[in-house]
Chain A
Amino acid sequence: MAQAAIELIGINKSFGAVRANRDINLEIVRGTIHGIVGENGAGKSTLMSILYGFYQADSGEIHVGGQPASIKSPNDAIALGIGMVHQHFMLVDNFTVLENVILGAESDALLKKSIAKARSELERLEREYGLEVDPDAIIEELPVGLQQRVEILKALYRGAEILILDEPTGVLTPAEADHLFRILKQLKEQGKTVVLITHKLREIMAITDTVSVMRQGTMVATRETKKTTVGELAELMVGRRVLLRVEKGEAEAGGVKLAVKNLTVKDSRGVTVVDDISFDVRAGEIVGIAGVAGNGQSEMLEAISGIRRAVSGSVMLDGKPIDLTGAADPGELRDRGLAHVPEDRHHVGLVLAFEENENSILGYHDHPRYLRGPFLNVDAIRDDARDRIAKYDIRPADCRLKTANFSGGNQQKIVLAREMEQDPGVLIVGQPTRGVDVGAIEFIHKRLIAMRDQGKAVLVVSVELDEIRSLSDRILVMFAGRIVGERGPEATEGELGLLMAGVEHQEAAQ
């Protein structure tokens, strides 16, 4: 019965000097959920891209269903019954669900017939796998969880027997993720094979049958999920023991460093996304903001850092008020000692096309240290960049390298190094470890705690509840643009989860 759905033999793939995959052997058993874990840059996505025909292996063989297969394009992969659900959805936003599902797989020259056929097929798929979606809904009006379901439907509609999911829960709320896992289990029961790529070990433990660990382009181990532990997997991923929970002493909170007062923010459509919130962050403490993504956290961060104009509200930095409703300038806030690590490092915190050293001054490029009159003091910039590369262990240690060529964790370290090294009084951090590998997470958490211990006020916004719980001295929960509760770090996951879901305070206390 344990027949291999996919067998990879001796796969090698290099990009320039980087050997993304070396001598990978992998067997995925039909009708199982197979997890592949590894740090960012370990080669997981490359391996799956080879399987799906985006890349060609430099050498090696792929067997599908026992037969040698040549996969030169995604079309070949689809023909072999391999479907992929991408991390970033490949959907046409203003098309309906049905139109998206048949896109590229129309059965007839006239759309009407294709759509009628697809409609009955979709109904069957929905019945069989519990994938309910309104076929006539417009994609952009659907929540991300449902959009992902459409991606899965797309793959199944094309006859996928083997489904690859690349970091599927990155954009989902915990409840949506649970629903996804139920769907995956159902798919498995119907005999489909699921390959789940992730770096979240808890998901692996929750739903996979087998797990393979990748590290630096090699496949270091394959384990039966029941017989392994989170600790062992983490160790295999990083190659050494990892502290999954940060060790920290008691906070010695001092005076208020950052006070946010009556902040209200509207989005571009005029909808109130942050609704009259006020809170303080004191010196020497980490305040964590928990919440499901999309409850106003991002807009709040942007308003506090001056990037987005607020409808009302101000921040007190060191006792001096700054109005956020006018043209608040991020530069001015920065000068007043507010450092900001933005949520979106790709478009906001970094310019990926820049050399590393150029990014190490972004926002501080008007600092006299980096200027000689109107000219950039290139020597000073590069010296500082090299110092930080050493201090924050940024790899590769090359300040002339394009930032896009660093891995996610190292990019985040570049931003953190820049913001922390300015010795700010207040540090606000959005999603400190999003898309960052386990080893770097540990490093980043330690640094944040070191900032706290130096008497800085630290505000952390994260959708990872574990992270909020392990870092914060106080936890504020945001729901629908408001702060709905404050808890200590000892609060249970269930308690916070209820608050995050908007269940009233009284019920949560029960």
Chain B
Amino acid sequence: MSTPYAKLPAWADYGLIPVINLFVAFVVAGLVVLLVGENPLRAAAVLVEGAFGRGQGIAFTLFYATTFIFSGLSVAVAAHCGLFNIGGEGQGYIAGLGIGIVCLAFDSVLPWWLTFPLAIVAAAAMGALWALIPAYLQAKRGSHIVITTIMFNFIAASVMVYALVGVLKPAGSMAPQTRTFLDGAQLPKLNWVIELFGAKIRSAPFNVSFLLALAMAFLVWVLIWRTRFGYEMRTYGHSPKAARYAGISETRIIIMAMMISGALAGMMALNPTMGDQHNVALDFVSGAGFVGIAVALMGRLHPVGIVLAAILFGMLYQGGAELAFEMPAISRDMIVIIQGLVILFAGALEHMFRPYVQALFASLSPRTVGMEAVKGKGA
């Protein structure tokens, strides 16, 4: 009959609360920095400066963000269907196999703009396939998707080690990676866009897969809120019983949603391979699939939020690298702690400050939360 929390204006709900959460995360991170004997304010300045201060930093931030947009969208699609896809890491990694095969086969014959679509299809197909098996087991056998997708991360890692150490490695090479792709499988950089605004960039891997990521964000929005399939997915995600009542097939919806989720996770492999390193190397995903979980949660499972959260995490990656360089006392592991705190406060403890913000709004200006001014004695 009544909601436990009073409603907040939309700007506070979607703007103020995430900012407060972030702020608290940084305050706690600041304490950790203080603990290792560095100045937290200077650390924050280095971090932000490193991420956005120069064109070079911005390009790297957006490069990292590209991968996180894909992995965040992947988690969000599954989550709208009530499924927790933890397997983005493995789905992205195995997609590298598809990309590798396509690129090695066509980079000498086709221009990049023909190789790219083929690689997109290959990456999406491999990711979808890797998600299909856990999805089938969930739908038909009731095996828990969280467990099976985690297990498939390990299987993917093993398969990739096998492929990169044996099959895909050029003869005579010592490194567990494919040969370097030729021009026909190298994605054009987008650094010139940033340079239009007057910034200078030496070299940065920011590339056209960023545009693909934005296009996917839009398509995911269309899928979830504007298609029949998205409607069925959300129905199932909120209430499996209502889905049954509405005649929606549980098996079909689980398998399709997971395959779309897997396809998106697969596409995240395009950015580091074709966009940056121009090869497929061991461990090239390096945790981006897991970061996607935090990105999706922080972005409230909405594509716009996910793009913004991905840029935030891109900033933490890029700024963090600068920080580790500038302040030797702050190691790479410290950066992981800071990222963990952001995930903790923005994701897991998302609603911690909500009641206080609401109380504040209610007492400061009752009208904004829809109350008439309270007359009479105070409680």
B369 to chain A, nearest CB (A): 6
Q: Which 6 A-B pairs have the closest CB atoms?
A: A331-B247, A17-B370, A363-B246, A16-B7, A16-B370, A330-B247
* A296 interface contact, C-beta 8 A: no
Contacts of A376 in B (CB 8 A): 226-228, 230-231
Binding-face segment, B41-49, B71-79, B232-240, B302-310: B232-240
With A362-B235, A378-B226: A348-B1 Cβ-Cβ less than 8 Å: no
Interface residues of A in 12-30 (CB under 8 A from B): 12, 14-20
Q: A10-B377, A353-B238 are in contact. Are A363 and B245 (CB under 8 A)?
A: yes
The answer to whether residues A16 and B227 also contact, given A41-B1, A348-B241, A365-B232 and a CB cut-off of 8 A, is no
Question: In the complex, given contacts A59-B379, A331-B246, what are 4 additional A-B residue pairs having Cβ atoms less than 8 angstroms apart?
Answer: A18-B2, A351-B242, A362-B235, A374-B229
A342 at the interface (CB under 8 A from B): yes
Please tell me the number of chain A residues within 8 Å of chain B, measured between CB atoms. Answer: 53
- Listed residue (B232, B371, B379) with the most chain A CB atoms within 10 angstroms of its CB: B379
Assuming the A-B contacts A15-B6, A58-B379, A354-B234, are A330 and B1 also in contact, with contact meaning beta carbons closer than 8 angstroms in the complex? Answer: no
Q: Does A408 sit within 8 A of B, measured CB to CB?
A: yes
* Interface 1/0 per residue, A364-390 and B, CB below 8 Å: 011000010011101000000000000
Residue among B228, B245, B369 having the largest count of chain A Cβ atoms under 10 Å: B245
Q: Which B residue's beta carbon lies closest to that of A11?
A: B379
- Are B374 and A330 in contact (CB-based, < 8 A)? no
A347 touches B241 (CB 8 A): yes
A-contact bits for B220-263, CB 8 A (1 contact / 0 none) = 00100011111110110011011011111000000000000000
Q: How far is the CB of B25 from chain A (nearest CB, A)?
A: 28
Given that A60-B379, A376-B231 are contacting pairs, would A16 and B242 also be in contact in the complex, using a CB cutoff of 8 Å?
Answer: no
Tell me, yes or no, whether A6 is within 8 Å of chain B by CB: no
Please determine whether A347 and B242 come into contact, CB atoms closer than 8 angstroms: yes
Count the B residues whose beta carbon is within 8 Å of the partner chain — how many? 35
Which chain A residues lie closer than 8 Å to B376 at the CB level?
10, 12, 59-60
CA A408 to CA B369, docked complex, whole Å: 23
A314 to B378 alpha-carbon distance, docked (Å): 64
Q: What residues of chain A lie closer than 8 Å to B228, measured between beta carbons?
A: 365-366, 371, 374-376
B286 at interface by CB-CB < 8 Å:
no
Cβ-based interface call for A405 (8 A):
yes
**Which chain A residues lie closer than 8 Å to B333 at the CB level?**
none
| Interface residue? A452 (CB, 8 A) | no
- Cross-chain contact A16 with B239 (CB below 8 angstroms): no
CA distance A460 to B229 in the complex (A): 33
Contact A40 B372 (CB under 8 A): no
A61 to B232, CA, bound (A): 49
Alpha-carbon gap, A378 to B226, bound state (A): 8
Given contacts A348-B245, A365-B246, contact A61 B377 (CB under 8 A): yes
Could you tell me the distance between the alpha carbons of A217 and B273 in the complex, rounded to whole angstroms? 63
CB neighbours (8 Å) of A334 from chain B are 247
The interface bits of chain A over 50-67 (1 if a CB of B lies within 8 angstroms of the residue's CB, else 0) are 000000111111000000
Chain B CB within 8 A of A407 CB: yes
Is A15 in contact with B3, judged by CB distance below 8 angstroms? yes
B370 partner residues in chain A, CB cutoff 8 A: 14, 16-18
- Chain A proximity of B237: nearest CB distance (Å): 9
| Bound CA–CA A172/B315 (angstroms) | 59
CB of B2 within 8 A of CB of A340, answer no
Q: Is the CB of A407 within 8 A of B227?
A: no
CB B332 to nearest CB in A, in angstroms, measures 41
Q: What are 17 A-B pairs at a CB distance below 8 A?
A: A12-B376, A16-B3, A41-B1, A45-B2, A46-B1, A56-B379, A307-B245, A331-B248, A340-B245, A344-B241, A348-B244, A349-B245, A350-B242, A361-B231, A362-B245, A374-B228, A376-B227
User: A12 contacts B374, CB within 8 Å?
Assistant: yes
For A59, the chain B residues whose CB sits under 8 A away are 374-379
Q: Are B379 and A332 within 8 A (Cβ)?
A: no
Q: Is the CB of B246 within 8 A of A330?
A: yes
**Chain A positions near chain B (C-beta within 8 angstroms):** 10, 12, 14-20, 40-41, 45-46, 56-61, 305-307, 329-332, 334, 340, 342, 344, 347-354, 358, 361-363, 365-366, 371, 374-376, 378, 404-405, 407-408
In the complex formed, the residue of B with least CB distance to A330 is B247
With a cutoff of 8 Å between Cβ atoms, the chain B residues found around residue A363 in the complex are 245-247
A41 to B3 alpha-carbon distance, docked (Å): 12
A365 with B2, Cβ < 8 A, contacts A12-B374, A16-B7, A19-B372 known: no
Q: Do B371 and A14 touch (CB < 8 A)?
A: yes
- Residues of chain A contacted by B229 (CB below 8 angstroms): 374
Closest to A347 in B: B241
In whole Å, how far is A374's beta carbon from the nearest beta carbon of chain B? 5
- Which listed residue (B1, B3, B227, B245) contacts A45, Cβ 8 A? B1
Among A18, A331, A351, the most chain B Cβ lie within 10 Å of the Cβ of A351
Nearest chain A CB to B362 CB, angstrom units = 8
Closest to B2 in A: A15
Question: Can you name the residue of chain B whose Cβ is closest to the Cβ of A56?
Answer: B379
State A20–B3 Cα separation when bound (angstroms).
Answer: 11
**Chain A, Cβ-Cβ closest to B231:** A365
Docked CA distance A32–B99 (Å):
78
Min C-beta distance of B360 to chain A, whole Å = 15
Known contacts being A16-B369, A330-B245, A330-B247, is A348 close to B377, with CB within 8 Å? no
Q: With CB as the reference atom, state the residue of chain B lying closest to A9.
A: B377
Within B272-323, which residues are at the interface with A (CB < 8 Å)?
Answer: none
CA–CA, A18 to B161, complex, Å?
A: 60
Q: Enumerate chain A residues within 8 angstroms of B6, measured Cβ to Cβ.
A: 14-16
Near A by CB (< 8 A), chain B positions 345-379 give 366, 369-372, 374-379
In the complex, which residues of chain A have a beta carbon less than 8 angstroms from the beta carbon of B3? 15-16, 404-405
Q: Are A374 and B227 in contact (CB under 8 A)?
A: yes
B82: shortest Cβ distance to chain A, in Å?
A: 11
State in angstroms the CA–CA spacing of A353 and B370 once bound together: 21
A305: nearest chain-B partner, CB-CB: B245
One digit per residue, 1 when the CB lies within 8 angstroms of any chain A CB and 0 when it does not, for chain B 140-158 equals 0000000000000000000
- Report B1-26 CB contacts with A as 1/0, cut-off 8 Å: 11100110000000000000000000
Residues of chain B with a CB closer than 8 A to A375's CB: 222, 226-228
The reply to whether B235 and A16 form a contact with Cβ atoms under 8 Å apart is no
Minimum CB–CB distance from B377 to chain A (whole Å) comes to 6
Q: How far is the CA of A363 from the CA of B246 in the complex (A)?
A: 4
Q: Closest CB of chain B to A378's CB: distance in Å?
A: 7
Best-surrounded residue of B228, B229, B232, B242 (most CB of chain A within 10 A): B242
Expressed in whole angstroms, the minimum distance between the Cβ of A408 and any Cβ of chain B is 7
Residues of B within 8 Å of A365, CB to CB, are 228, 231-232, 246
B238 vs chain A, min Cβ distance (A)? 5
| A334 CA to B245 CA, complexed, in Å | 10
Expressed in whole angstroms, the Cα–Cα distance for A353 and B7 within the complex equals: 15
Bound complex: CA A405 to CA B370 (Å):
15
Give the residue name and chain of the A residue nearest to B236 (CB): A351
Minimum distance in angstroms from A340 CB to a CB of chain B: 7
A40 near B1: Cβ-Cβ < 8 Å? yes
Q: Taking CB as reference atom, which chain A residue is nearest B7? A: A16
Report B-chain residues with C-beta under 8 Å of the C-beta of A57: 379
Cα distance A60–B227 when bound, in Å? 50
Distance from A64 Cβ to chain B, minimum over Cβ atoms (Å): 16
B242 touches which of A329, A349, A407 (Cβ 8 Å): A349
Min CB distance B38 to A, Å, is 42
Complex Cα distance, B6 from A365, in Å, reads: 32
Is A351 a contact partner of B239 (Cβ separation < 8 A)?
A: yes
Residues in A neighbouring B246, C-beta threshold 8 A: 330-331, 362-363, 365
